[in-house]
Amino acid sequence: MRAFLVLVGCLVAASAFAQSLPTPSPAQDRLKALSGDPVALRAAVDAGKKATFFCANCHGDDGISKTPDVPNLAGQNPAYLLEQIRKFGAGERKDAFMQGLIKVLKDEERVQVATYFASLPVRPSAADAAQVAKGKVLFERLCVRCHGEQARGNEAIARLAGQKLPYLQTTITRYRDRTGVRNNQLMSIATAGLKNEEILALANYLTQLP
């Protein structure tokens, strides 16, 4: 059964990736331009640090969340972050608090916020070594195709490496059970056959990755 699910996941991966690519926009174009201009990029990061003062209460001053149910933003791909900011602002991702904060940001400020959090170092967490070994096998079987060998994601897919264990465990479970506010066909397929202890192993593996 699991082999079948993996096969189905492979078949839909290309279309799912295409659908999740950041929406072309002036903000995304601006972000790309910054990548080729170190001076402008540094200025954007510095401005982003000032613009994210309201984010620190939940996501931390250093992009490491203060609570277990909030994701770390440090080290995420800036294009991915910018797209999630857009989705919250457009109401495509639902969270009243986030939507209210993001709606007041101008496009340039959104770019600055994304570049700032992307520039911050990731802080891996300690994990159970035995669980890590089990989780690595599961990750390589089910997750590596999309999230990458180091689980660092890309412009369309979230970085999982270094996230906090409780957040990972809760999020994977919600995808499996389809009980979260976010739906993703590929994630539902990949996690459908996971047992609770396998989700715990995956979370242990991912949380300790740099």
Q: What are the tens digits of pLDDT across the range 190-209?
A: 999 999 999 999 999 999 99
Between 4 and 91, residue with greater pLDDT: 91
Between 113 and 181, residue with greater pLDDT: 113
Mean pLDDT of the chain: 91
**In the chain, % of residues over pLDDT 90:** 81
At 135, the pLDDT band (50, 70, 90 cuts) reads: very high
**Own/partner long-range contacts of 163-166 (Cβ < 8 Å, ≥24 apart):** 163/71, 163/72, 163/206, 163/207, 164/65, 164/68, 164/71, 164/72, 164/125, 164/207, 165/68, 165/125, 165/127, 165/203, 165/204, 165/207, 166/68, 166/69, 166/203
* pLDDT tops 80 at residue 17: no
Instruction: For each of the domains in the chain, give its residue range(s) and CATH number, in order of start.
Output: 2-16+124-207 (1.10.760.10), 23-119 (1.10.760.10)
Please give the average per-residue pLDDT across 40-60, as a whole number.
95
At 183, the pLDDT band (50, 70, 90 cuts) reads: confident
* pLDDT tops 70 at residue 102: yes
* pTM for the full predicted model: 0.89
**Predicted pLDDT at 148:** 98
Q: Which of 133, 209, 119, 130 is nearest to 165 (CA)?
A: 209
